[in-house]
Amino acid sequence: MLARVLTIVVALMLVSSLAVRYRRGRISLRKAMFWAGPWLLVAIVMLSPTLADAVAVRLGLQDANGIDLVVYLGVGVAFFLLYRIFLRLDHLERTLTRLVRHQALSDAAESRQSTTAKTE
């Protein structure tokens, strides 16, 4: 019982912190809802475990209870997000390299032009 109460309190604290950040304009509504969603889901499961059990059975997980379903989904979503972050990071790294290369080649071309102008 204590664990349930604590989990609900933590989830609500995180959701309210996201709400505050949204109100102060630090994050967009879409981002706030995206991050608040999983925590609201956790709070709902904790408030009504039978509801989550029913959803688990509906999804074909006959032996699983609602908490198991949340864990399965959580791991799946975490892996997906990790993969997306890696791709994004890789994309940023490549963009940064292209930018650095562009700068290096532009500087070299400029210095070449000025050297040619001086010798003429």
Partner 1 sequence: MAARFSSTMRTVVVVPAFNEEQAIFRVVSGILRCGHDAVVVDDGSSDATGAEARRGGAVVLRHPINRGYGAALTTGTEWAARCGYDVVVHFDADGQHDPDEISAVAAPIRAGEADVAIGSRFLGAALALPWRRKLLIRLAVLFTRVVSRVRLTDAHNGFRALSAEAARRLDCREDGMGYASELVERVARQGLRLCEVPVTITYSEYSTSKGEGNLAKLRVGARFLWSKLIH
Q: Is 95 in the site for partner 1 (CB under 8 A)?
A: no
As a dihedral over the C-alpha atoms of residue 54, residue 55, residue 59, residue 62, rounded to 10 degrees, the angle is -30
Q: Which is nearer to partner 1, 47 or 93 (CB)?
A: 93
Q: How far apart are CA 37 and CA 29, in angstroms?
A: 12
Nearest approach, Cβ of 90 to partner 1 (angstroms)? 7
Applying the rule CB under 8 A, the residues between 33 and 92 that interact with partner 1 are: 83, 86-87, 90
What is the CA 107 to chain-centroid distance, rounded?
38
Q: Which is nearer to partner 1, 59 or 105 (CB)?
A: 105
Tokens describing residue 58: 């509906």
Q: Is 108 in the site for partner 1 (CB under 8 A)?
A: yes
Q: Is 17 in the site for partner 1 (CB under 8 A)?
A: no
Nearest approach, Cβ of 14 to partner 1 (angstroms)? 30
CB neighbour burial string for 7-45, b if at least 16 within 10 angstroms, e if fewer: bbeebeebbeebeeebeeeeeeeeebeebbebbeebbbb
Q: List residues near partner 1 by CB under 8 A.
A: 83, 86-87, 90, 93-94, 96-97, 100-101, 103-105, 107-109
